A and B are shown apart, each in its own frame.
Chain A
Amino acid sequence: MEPWQWTMEIVLLITVAIILIPMAWMIFVSLQPATGIINPRFTASFSLESYIELFSSGTPYLQQMGNSALIVAGTVLLSLGAGSLGGYALSGFRVPRGITFPLLGVAGFISIVPPMVLVPGLYVTLASLGLIGGNLGLVLANTVFQLPFAILVMKVNFDGVPRSLREAALIDGASEFEAFWRIILPLARPGLASVAVFTGVMAWNEFQFGLTMTSGGSTSPLTVGIASLVNPNQVAWGQLAAIGVVAALPIVILSLVANRQLVAGLTQGSVKG
């Protein structure tokens, strides 16, 4: 290899290190005893005390992980359902403009404005429905903000399915819904996978709605639990690192297993959203 090629590879290696070392440091801190963390020198030992304290009885974190898992499940299911139906409707059907224009307008509005701008109005709406402080309210808030992406990805996927398949199914006596459910939807599986992976990751990571729509403790998702450990008076650093590792682990594993779907979601979600 020529010298410039070596330089290039070294630059890349440094980039990889800049990404990995901060994450590795969090894992390292999570495995140190408290005395090692506050020591101004670098010390290395091995201790699981932070993890044990984190999940000892009386802490809300396990419950919060359960909440987050439920929010993920609800958001994924609802986004898949509403998103695939909506994407199918917008893919080739003649829908009155009086419906599509406002729909696309709202979808664009939701994708562009900061979520925090809509949080107060959303809070009032959820409060009037009695959905403040529960998982269902967070599922609905998350879904609405993921839905523009879900509809778009599904529409693009349905656009790639030949329309003659639907017509053949209708001629064979299937209803519109049967044609969609049994014939078309299974062919859009790659889109379903992208939507599921991406909306799932987003719902697991979501913080602003959880922060503003729940009152903390066992009613909150995990991200709010992490934030509650950042107490300006006394931070439990070891537990903070440990809970960070716990929250990141499923996502990192998913990014390795479902690499392709996640990349598709991230690129399409930001370019078209």
Chain B
Amino acid sequence: MAQLLLAGRRSRRRRPMDGGRFAVIALLPSIILFAVFGILPAYNLLRMSVSDVALQGGVFTEVLVGFGNFAKIPSDQTGARTMVNTLVFSLASVVLTVGLGLALALLVERSRVFAGLARRVLLIPLAIAPVVISVIWLLIVDPNIGSLNKLLGNLGLPVQSWLGDGASAMAVVIGIDVWHWTPLVFLILFTSLQALDPEVREAALVDGANSRQTLRYITLPLVMPMVIALCGIRLLMSIKAFDEMFLVTGGGPGDATSLVSLHIRQVFFDELNLGYGSAYSVMVVLAIGALVAIGFGLRRLRRARAAS
């Protein structure tokens, strides 16, 4: 009897356990990769942020110093400027890419002639390297050989030093980002527009709504959740921006277009200030974490209000 019970328990256990053990083994490559090249670097970062790190002869020496590195953050003027730049850049980039992407998606959905062409062409900026996009735009905005100044010169207009002052350099950098990423917003919104049930909109038209009313009261509310999600996604992406600024402006003139990723690279690899750079990085991660928490909080609030 006892044996039967034991056998029964064992066999009841074994079926899911076998699969479970296989699943754990199947997860091992991912677990190892994440642990060694995700968790360990994050741990390194945390440790360096509370240490005084020196690089001598290719060897790192670390001395624990507590939170002194974090205390330096408020007095880092370039770091503060970088934060403001990132905020300006992100807000402009999110608003423009989502707005233009939504408009394009609505246009292409109704277009009959150029829709297919537009869909294929809009994919290219998303697929080619950001470094190549930098090259493309350098050939346009360079004050000496750029096509924009050639055009102005040939029209008899005064040429501009597009990257020469802070405001226009920032405008160029935002413009490049909009050129690069509006297609992504378009692609995702176009896909979700096509996934809408056509009968809903047909029913509205049959009920006597004109096409503007259908757009305002049917189509837009239906894609709005995706539009809001895209604002969040684009915000996170714009905080990550690096390649184009690094090559087109180098963060300049001065630090007028320096974003957080550029500042981190500079502190680490040019100034070799590893302790402070880690503290600054940790603060950026915390700020992003706060943004994500706020985003999910807002979403929960919206859902709760919609449910009540």
Chain A interface (Cβ < 8 Å from any Cβ of B)? 5, 8-9, 11-13, 15-16, 18-20, 22-23, 25-26, 29, 37-38, 40-42, 78, 81-83, 85-86, 88-90, 93-96, 99, 103, 106-107, 109-110, 112-125, 127, 140-141, 143-144, 147, 151, 176-177, 180, 201, 204-205, 207-208, 211-212, 223, 226-227, 230, 232, 235, 237, 240-241, 243-244, 247-248, 251-252, 254-256, 259, 262-263, 266-267, 270-271
Contacts and interface: CB of A to CB of B under 8 A. Distances in A.
Given A15-B118, A125-B37, A271-B233, A247 B247 contact: no
B129 interface: yes
B229 to A, nearest CB: 7
Contacts of B247: 227, 230
Interface of B: 16, 18-20, 22-24, 26-27, 29-31, 33-34, 36-45, 48, 60, 104, 107-108, 110-115, 117-118, 120-132, 134-140, 142, 144-145, 147, 149-150, 153-154, 179, 183-184, 187-188, 191, 229, 233, 236-237, 239-240, 242-243, 246-247, 250, 260-261, 264-265, 268-269, 274, 277-278, 281, 284-285, 288, 292
B128 A248 contact: yes
24 contacts: A5-B112, A19-B183, A20-B121, A26-B135, A29-B139, A41-B153, A94-B20, A113-B284, A114-B240, A114-B288, A117-B45, A120-B278, A127-B60, A207-B242, A208-B265, A212-B265, A230-B134, A230-B135, A235-B138, A241-B139, A244-B132, A251-B127, A251-B129, A255-B120
A41 B150 contact: yes
The secondary structure that dominates the A interface is helix
Contacts of A95: 20, 23-24, 27
A228 to B, nearest CB: 11
A144 B184 contact: no
The secondary structure that dominates the B interface is helix
Nearest to A20: B121
Given A112-B236, A140-B33, A85 B139 contact: no
Contact of A263 (B112, B123, B131, B147): B123
A106 B128 contact: no
Given A86-B26, A90-B23, 4 more contacts: A19-B122, A41-B154, A118-B45, A205-B130
B184 to A, nearest CB: 6
Given A88-B26, A176-B18, A223 B131 contact: yes
Interface centre among B122, B127, B147, B154 (most CB of A within 10 A): B127
A75 to B, nearest CB: 11
